[in-house]
Amino acid sequence: MEEDKKNINESLNEGLDKAKEVLDKVTEKTFEAAGEMGEKAVDMVEEVKDKVSETLSDESIQQAKEKATELANEAKEVLDDVTEKAAEIAGEASEHIADFAEDAQEEVEEAVKKGKNFFQRLFGK
- Give the C-alpha separation, 33 to 44, whole Å: 16
125 lies in some domain: no
44 lies in some domain: yes
Average pLDDT over residues 88-114: 83
Residue at 113: amino acid letter: K
Is the confidence at residue 12, as pLDDT, over 70? no
Tens-digit pLDDT profile for residues 30-70: 777 767 777 777 777 777 777 766 665 667 777 878 888 99
Annotate 16-85 with DSSP letters as a single string. HHHHHHHHHHHHHHHHHHHHHHHHHHHHHHHHHHHHHHHHS-HHHHHHHHHHHHHHHHHHHHHHHHHHHH
Tens-digit pLDDT profile for residues 72-95: 888 888 888 888 888 888 788 778
81 lies in some domain: yes
User: What is the span of the domain harbouring residue 94?
Assistant: 2-120
Let me know: does 94 contact 20? Beta carbons within 8 Å: yes
Instruction: Mean pLDDT check: name the lowest of 54-58, 86-90, 96-100, 120-124.
Output: 54-58
Is the confidence at residue 103, as pLDDT, over 80? yes
**pLDDT at position 1, please?**
62
**pLDDT at position 53, please?**
67
111 lies in some domain: yes
Average pLDDT over residues 81-110: 83
How many domains does the structure of the chain reveal? Answer: 1
**pLDDT at position 52, please?**
67
- Give the C-alpha separation, 99 to 76, whole Å: 35
Q: Pick 1 or 111 by higher pLDDT.
A: 111
